[in-house]
Each structure stands twice: as structure tokens, then as C-alpha cells.
């Protein structure tokens, strides 16, 4: 089972990669066959299957944003590891700074499936947001 510190580092590498538009850093956090599912209020979940599809989403999202995003991860629960998969749940608070103003864009819950012992990767990333971002 990976250490809590290793799990936190993976989560924060992903978030910091997004916040700094470091696409290589984001890509390094996912397995090739990863799945990213996102649910916005009042909508069915949208699923992106495979690292290439996930990275396409990340690039498109980053290119359309004019603000500086900050992902704040909190309340991490590491549920444990079974059959090589570590499951976690944590909160996201998504902030944006633009024109000197900081605002809360959304909040939500991440549910992750992480694989690996020394070199952790996201295999499933489920994100349920409280409001569209």
C-alpha cells in the first residue's frame, strides 16, 4: 500500500500541473488507460477514456481560461488498497484570480483509484462538482 504522503503528492502534482498549465506534469499523473469522469449538477456524467482523451480535455480547458486557477484539495481519506488499487475521496475547492479579484468557481468531491507502489498513477478520477466551473 502506498504511503499517504505519496498519495497526497500525486493529487497535488496533478492539481499544480493544471494550475501552471504544465501538460507534461498532468500527463505523468495518469495511466495510459485512465478514465476521467466528471459530473456537473443537473447533467449526466461525462467520461473521457484514455490518457490521450483526458489530455485533450486538459489542453482545451487550459486554452479557454483567462484566469489563474488554484485547486485546493482537502479532507483526504485514503480508504485502503485492494488488488493493487488504492481508493481515496477528497474535496476540491476551485479558485480563480482575474483582474486582481479572487473568487470561488466551484467545489466538489474527487473519488480516485490509484495504481502503483513507488510510481503512483491515477487510473480513475471521478469528479462531482457542486456547480459548473
Domain boundaries in the chain? 4-129
pLDDT tens digit sequence for 14-57 = 999 999 999 999 999 999 999 999 999 999 999 999 999 999 99
33 CB-near residues (< 8 Å, 6+ apart)? 49, 50, 51, 123
CATH topology of domain 4-129: Nuclear Transport Factor 2; Chain: A, (3.10.450)
* 108 alpha-carbon distance from chain centroid: 11
Which pLDDT band holds residue 117 (cuts at 50, 70, 90)? confident
CA–CA separation, 115 vs 88, rounded Å?
Answer: 11
Amino acid at each position: 500500500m502506498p504511503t499517504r504522503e505519496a498519495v497526497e503528492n500525486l493529487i497535488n502534482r496533478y492539481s499544480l500541473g493544471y494550475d501552471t498549465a504544465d501538460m507534461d506534469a498532468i500527463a505523468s499523473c495518469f495511466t495510459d488507460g485512465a478514465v476521467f469522469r466528471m459530473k456537473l449538477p443537473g447533467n449526466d456524467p461525462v467520461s473521457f477514456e484514455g490518457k490521450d482523451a483526458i489530455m485533450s480535455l486538459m489542453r482545451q480547458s487550459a486554452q479557454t481560461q483567462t484566469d489563474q486557477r488554484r485547486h485546493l484539495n482537502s479532507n483526504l481519506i485514503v480508504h485502503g488498497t485492494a488488488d493493487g488499487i488504492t481508493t481515496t475521496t477528497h474535496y476540491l475547492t476551485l479558485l480563480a484570480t482575474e483582474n486582481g479579484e479572487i473568487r470561488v468557481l466551484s467545489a466538489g468531491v474527487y473519488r480516485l483509484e490509484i495504481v502503483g507502489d513507488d510510481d503512483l498513477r491515477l487510473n480513475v478520477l471521478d469528479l462531482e462538482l457542486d456547480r459548473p466551473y
